[in-house]
Every structure is written in C-alpha cells, then in structure tokens.
Structure 1
Amino acid sequence: MPSVFTHAAVPLALWCASERGRISTRLLGAGIAAAMLPDADVLAFALHIPYADAFDHRGASHSLLFACLPAASALLLHRQLHAGRRQALAFVFACALSHPLLDALTSGGLGVVLWWPWSDARLFAPWRPIRVSPFANAFFSARGLQTVLSELRWVWLPLALAVLGWRMIQSPAGASGRAPD
C-alpha cells in the first residue's frame, strides 16, 4: 500500500485543481478521510484474520462497494460539508475509490478485492511502480524512505504536474473571453 499520507494526495490534487472555494474545506476533509479509511482494515492483523480473507487487509474495504459507503454518507451530510448533493457524492466516491486503485499500483501484498462481494479475486494493475509501504515502526527505516521517494515520483509529482497543467489551461477567473486590448 502507499503510505497513509499519499492516499491524501488525490483529494488534495482535486482540491488544488478546482476553482478557489469550489470544494469546501469540510468536503476536502471528508475526501481525505474517505481516501484513508480503507486502511482501517489493518486491524484485521490484530484480530488474527488470515491474510487473503475477504475481511483482511486489502479485502472488502478496498472494494468498489465499500467506496460507496463514505460517498453515501457524504450525500446525506452534503449541507454540513458545504456542498451540493452530486458534488459531495462524486468527490467523496472518487477519493474513496482512489485508495484501492493506488494500492493496485504497488509492488507487494496480495492485491485488492476491488469487485467484492461479486468476486474474491485479488487484483493488481498491470504496471506496479509504487513501492509497497512497510507497516508501523518499519516505516521509519531505509525501506520507508525508499517508499516515500517512490510515492513522490509516481504519485505526488504526476498529480502536481496534472494540477499545474490543468490550472494553466483554465481561463483566469472573471475573464470575459476577449483578447487583451
């Protein structure tokens, strides 16, 4: 898995790419929480749930169906998130779904159960450039540093370039569409 910090990259990139004020800070917070939430399944290790079980790490919480849960919550709480219904639903769903998609790009683990409960198949992307993150205290090691560098290269940098590119092709706020005099 990418580190918990990198799962926040997608919501942050979407927020940075949007018009100022278009995504409220509350909605951004909900998106970040939704992007990180699937990794709460690491509790499966403490509960001695076998790895490769549907409810272990990268199991059901990394599914398309699970991504619908925080999105449905955002839909119900859209006013508190200072967002419209569709915006809250779409933003939080995209953020939640980004988690298993990023995990599928990592170099280790068993893959993600994206289609649970319809299939227990563990999936990886055909291209897996992101180093898998070590757990807990091992994160603060040489391997953890290699993971951070990998995440910077394969997640943060491409997202930053995409945001910059998007911002450059957008017309300035309030522009009338006329050529300058």
Structure 2
Amino acid sequence: MASIGHVAVGMALGRFETGTGVPWRRRVAVMGFLSLLALLPDADVVAFALRIPYAATWGHRGASHSWVFAVGVALVVAALARWRGASATRWGWLALAAVGSHGILDTLTDGGLGAALFWPFSHARVFAPVRPLPVAPIGAGMLSARGLYVSGVEFLAFLPAWIYALWPRRKAPPAGATAQGLHPGA
C-alpha cells in the first residue's frame, strides 16, 4: 500500500484528538505525530537493504505489522504521555489505533505476502477476505505509471478520511450562547 492511506488515518486521528479550539500548531503537531505512528510499521523496509528476506519474521510486512507490535508501541506512547502529564489512556488508544491500523490496511491490498498480524503467535501472513487496494511498488517504482495509478486509487479510497482531517472547523460559539445565537439575558 502506498503511504497515502496510512497518513490519512493518522491525520483523521489527529483531527479527532484535537477537537475544536486548539491552536493550529498543536493540531499540525498531533496530526503529524499520529501520521508518523501510522507509518511506523513500514520502517521495516530497511530489511531490504540488510538483505533480510521479505518472508522472514523481520522482513517487510512481518513482525512490525503485528498487533503485538502495535500494543508495544501504544504502551511506550502511553508511558511517555503520563510522563508529560497527558492522559496515558487516551494517547495509548490513539497510538494503538494509528499503528494497529497499518497492518489491517495492508491486508486489504491485492499483492505481496500479506501481513503478519498475529506474530509472535503465528508467523502466517494474512490477507483480508476482500482486497480492494492495489499493492504499491516499492522504492523508485512509485514514480512509475503503476505508482501513479496506485496513489490515485488510494487517494480516492481514503478521501473521506482526508476530508474529515482537513475540512475547516467552525469556530466554537461564545460561552453562554444559546441555540438561537443569543446570549442569556439579551
């Protein structure tokens, strides 16, 4: 899968987390952080440079795409959130959603070896019963016609998440305003 869908998930989670009335710099930081978490499992592409076979446990779409990996990252994020005085529970769940979504989304592609969602309990690579997303070429192949096609399909598939994440927010009504827009006692 191209990274477009993973980033869209991170951005949407960031929008969900920041709510209304949050300064734009904080919103951008939270969206960026959650997008990086959603992309984190693909750091395993370094395995290609290290000559680790694709099908190996630490190969692409291996252990780093598992739910155990997602839980581990979520626990680290929760601990860091607690240390910084933020809600460990909330940040742990957000991190779990971001990292855990990666493997699930990769099972929706039509190529590769599948994702090792159940590692270390099973080394099997799995696909979803329905696979609507074309698999993305790796590396410079993304600059080809096939890469452009995959990016377009993925952008359209995740357009609702992009719209949710980037749609301008309404300004919050002033405190004490009623449904008719009048202040109490006016």
- Which TM-score tier does this pair reach, normalised by the shorter chain? 0.7 to 0.9
Moved more, 55-64 or 68-77: 68-77
Task: Say yes or no: does 1:8 pair with 2:14.
Answer: no
The C-alpha deviation readout for 1:82-137, integer Å capped at 9, x for no partner, is: 73111111111100011111111111101000010001111111111111111111
Deviation, 1:10, is 0.5
Contact 1:62 1:99 in 2 (8 A): yes
Q: What CA distance in whole angstroms lies between the structure 1 residues aligned with 2:92 and 2:33?
A: 11
Give the alignment of 1:60-139 within 5 angstroms: 60-78=63-81, 83-139=86-142
Structure 2 counterpart of 1:19: 19
Q: What CA distance in whole angstroms lies between the structure 2 residues aligned with 1:149 and 1:110?
A: 22
Contact 1:26 1:82 in 2 (8 A): no
Higher alpha-carbon Rg = 2
Q: What CA distance in whole angstroms lies between the structure 1 residues aligned with 2:83 and 2:150?
A: 36
Runs of 5+ unmatched residues, structure 1: none
In structure 2, relative to structure 1, the CA distance for the partners of 1:179 and 1:5 (3 Å cut) is closer
Letter of the aligned partner of 1:109 in structure 2? G
Q: What CA distance in whole angstroms lies between the structure 2 residues aligned with 1:61 and 1:142?
A: 29
Deviation, 1:152, is 1.2
Number of matched pairs: 176
Question: TM-score normalized by structure 2?
Answer: 0.80
Moved more, 30-39 or 82-91: 82-91
Deviation, 1:26, is 4.1
Sequence identity of aligned pairs in percent? 40
Aligned CA RMSD, in angstroms, stands at: 2.9
